[in-house]
């Protein structure tokens, strides 16, 4: 399975993935949405900054899924993984207030810069920050 992760360009997360500083991609949602429960070890993630072409790919080493979030679970996740996620805010109480019910931690490996390509998100929602497809070719913009 292939996944497209769209990152906040202002946070410079793509550069942190390339450098190895960020080795865990995380998704925090109030409602159950992809990649929660879908992504697995061996899948490939393609990364892009918002408004930019896809420029990096990585393999999924392992995945952790969390649900029914509690104050203790937030503290545990942030305490163990914040550095490798590159979380700006490490105050678990702020996450409790957001009421995220589903958390996905994706451990990545074999990060590679690739020849950049544009995507077509039509049919996936213009605001989608994560898209899962059988093959990334389905998302590539046709000339």
Nearest residue to 35 (alpha-carbon basis) of 3, 13, 82: 3
Q: What is the CATH number of domain 2-134?
A: 2.30.130.30
pLDDT at residue 93 is higher than 80: no
Distances (CA, A) of 122 to 51, 82, 119, 141: 15, 33, 9, 10
Domains of the chain, residue spans: 2-134
Mean pLDDT of the region 115-138: 91
DSSP for 74-101, written as a single string: HHHHHHHHHHHHT-S---HHHHHHHT--
pLDDT of residue 106: 99
Q: Which of 56-65, 68-77, 102-111 has the lowest mean pLDDT?
A: 68-77
User: What pLDDT, on the 0 to 100 scale, is given for residue 2?
Assistant: 98
- What tens digit of pLDDT does each residue of 10-67 get? 999 999 999 999 999 999 999 999 999 999 999 999 999 999 999 999 999 999 999 9
């Amino acid at each position: 399975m292939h996944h497209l992760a769209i990152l906040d360009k202002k946070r410079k997360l793509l550069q942190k993935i390339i450098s190895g500083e960020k080795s865990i991609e995380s998704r925090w949602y109030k409602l159950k949405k992809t990649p929660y429960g879908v992504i697995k070890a061996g899948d490939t993630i393609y990364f892009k900054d918002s408004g930019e072409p896809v420029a990096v790919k990585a393999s999924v080493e392992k995945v952790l899924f969390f649900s029914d979030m509690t104050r203790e679970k937030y503290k545990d996740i942030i305490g163990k993984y914040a550095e490798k996620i590159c979380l700006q805010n490490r105050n678990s109480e702020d996450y409790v207030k957001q009421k995220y019910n589903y958390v996905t931690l994706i451990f990545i490996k074999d990060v590679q810069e690739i020849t950049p390509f544009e995507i077509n998100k039509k049919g996936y929602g213009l605001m989608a920050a994560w898209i899962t497809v059988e093959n990334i070719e389905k998302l590539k913009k046709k000339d």
